[in-house]
Amino acid sequence: MVLNSILYAYAFVFTLFSWGMNSTVHTALLVVCCIMFILSQWLQIHPAWAPWVRLLLLCCLHGVAQLNWCMPLYLLVMAKDTLSEENKAKAWSLSFAYATAYLLISFSILENELSTTSHLSIIFQLFNFLAVILISRFFSSTVKQTEMLKREQKILSTRDTLTGLFNYDESHRKLEEFVVQEKPFLLILIDCTDLKSMNTTKGFQAGNLILKQVAELLKILFSENLFISRYGGDEFALAIPLEKNDKEMVRARQQLDSELPKLTGIQITYGIAQFPDDGSTKDSIILVAEHHLFMKKREMWLKREEHLLRSEKLRVVGELASGMAHEIRNPLTTVKGFLQISKANGYNIENWYALIMDEINRMSDLTAEFLQFSKPHATQFRVHSLHECFQRVISLTESEATRLGHEILYECTQEQINVVMDQDKMVQLLLNIVKNAYEAMPENGVISLRLNRQNQYAVLEIADTGKGIPADQLEKIFHPFFTTKDSGTGLGLSICHKIVQDHQGTIEVESFIDQGTKFTITFPLASKDEEQDLIHAAFI
């Protein structure tokens, strides 16, 4: 702008001096040339031929004026046309054309003057042209490099290098500006949910490609945005202007719920906040959007967990059904075989009656245990003493222990340990584990029962001196129908595990070959209020 003003002023002054000194060939033609020259500079024409037209008009003005005071005009116009030219060859061609035109017209004006000094002055001015060209090109190159560095520095400080979008800090600055302007807008935070797993399975290059794709799609889907930024690793933030109606909100939800996931092939979660309805400051708007994003993630996580739980239930049901069918088919096959043999012997089943009844009883027991394991039933939870449960189990199994030659050692703390329980189920739990211990030990084995308290939990330990459980089987002992016994159903420990879960407890197993096995069970202790209810009920 300043350069143009100087150029116009100097062209006008140069024309006045030419007219005032009567050096011009024709006054009207001089005025026309001046006007045409100024218009060529003012119109800012940019085609490839435009610099040559400006040079031609300048030569006309110089020739008509017949005055060699227009060297500054040549330099100014040359600077404008050559410094903005990226092609160096074309820039140098223009520079030499300006210098040559000035030299030729100046010599033609002075052709009647044989002064050697005048001619040397013109040649010296030519060298001035060349010096100005070199200096201007150098400074132009320096200025361009400086501007390029500034632009690159600004890009690095405000833009994300991968996607080219605004970065986290710049998005906050933009939000602050929009809040100050008090114009309604929607802030949307977007999370690419599946990107972390994709980085793990397919590598970071695939994840980066998706991020670039999401960035481009956001520019297309939300072309009217105020800004789009990469808010975090796999998060984006964008703001769109909001009118008085809710069309922008509806459209944004539609794009984020269907279009963006469909085009990218990944799952998208998002949170939306509306300024100024949801907050009047930048931080409050961001907080609301992040809260909505978190709730959306939580909802998605719950749906996923529900789906996994349903799948797990179906898998367990399938395993139970398969195991049950297998276990029942074996005795049925035996009974079928005996009946076929009895048919050949005139339906006389006397010889196989005992075996047939054993197989039928086995199926009956298996069905009963399976129903006990799978069928939900009413439980009577009351506050009871675990010490009493142990005493009852010992009294029920003491005779069998004596018959097998086993010894029972029971250690119990002096304080009362009460737990909210179904007493019958608790006795069944302890009875199953104790009987398993009897069967796992050779003669003259020792079973140790311990009951103590740790913080707010009751800890039960049942250890035997049996042959132990191999490491490869230890993880399977609670699976339905897994058993190492010849006549076992594989449901005993599964039932025990279910009883422990129903009582909010945990069960752990340690086992060493030829040293024995120890079950450690924990239950939460009854609260003081629950114990008071027990005492009150006892007095009643």
Identify the three-state secondary structure at position 140.
Answer: helix
Compute the mean pLDDT over every residue in the chain, rounded to the nearest whole number: 78
> What separation in angstroms does the CA of 290 have from each of 60, 190, 221, 380?
69, 10, 22, 46
List, for residues 449-477, the tens digit of each pLDDT value: 999 988 889 999 999 988 888 888 887 78
| Mean of pLDDT values over 286-303 | 88
Q: What is the pLDDT of residue 116?
A: 53
Q: Where are the beta strands (DSSP E) in 50-200?
A: 185-192
List, for residues 146-169, the tens digit of each pLDDT value: 777 777 666 667 888 888 888 888
CB 38 within 8 A of CB 76: no
How sure is the predictor about 139, in pLDDT bands with cuts at 50, 70 and 90?
low
| Mean of pLDDT values over 375-397 | 80
List, for residues 176-188, the tens digit of each pLDDT value: 888 888 888 999 9
419's tokens: 């737990």
The correct CATH number of 168-280 out of 3.30.70.270, 1.10.287.110, 3.40.50.1100, 3.40.190.10 is 3.30.70.270
In terms of Cβ atoms closer than 10 Å to its own Cβ (0-12, 13-18, 19+), residue 9 is exposed
Q: Is the pLDDT reported for residue 522 higher than 90?
A: yes
Higher-pLDDT residue of 95 and 505 is 505
- The domain made up of 382-538 has a fold known as Heat Shock Protein 90 (3.30.565)
Q: In this structure, which long-range contacts are made by residues 3-12, counting pairs with CB atoms below 8 Å and at least 24 apart in sequence?
A: 3/76, 3/79, 3/80, 4/41, 4/42, 6/76, 7/41, 7/73, 7/76, 7/77, 7/80, 8/38, 8/41, 8/42, 10/72, 10/73, 10/76, 11/37, 11/38, 11/61, 11/73, 12/38
The pTM score is: 0.44
Range from 108-122, 254-268, 358-372, 431-445 carrying the lowest mean pLDDT: 108-122
DSSP 67: -
Structure-derived torsion over alpha carbons of residues 102, 103, 108, 112, reported in degrees to the nearest 10: 130
Range from 104-118, 235-249, 306-320, 341-355 carrying the lowest mean pLDDT: 104-118
Q: What is the pLDDT of residue 414?
A: 79
How sure is the predictor about 379, in pLDDT bands with cuts at 50, 70 and 90?
low
Output the CA angle 509-515-521, nearest 5 degrees.
20
Using only C-alpha atoms, the chain has a radius of gyration, in whole angstroms, of: 48
φ, ψ for residue 266, nearest 5 deg: -125, 165
Q: Measure the CA–CA gap between 320 and 366, rounded to whole angstroms.
A: 12
Q: Measure the CA–CA gap between 65 and 12, rounded to whole angstroms.
A: 12
- The domain made up of 302-375 has a fold known as Helix Hairpins (1.10.287)
Each domain of the chain, given as residue ranges in start order, spans 2-154, 168-280, 302-375, 382-538
Higher-pLDDT residue of 136 and 175 is 175
Half-sphere exposure of 511 (CA within 13 A, CB side): 18
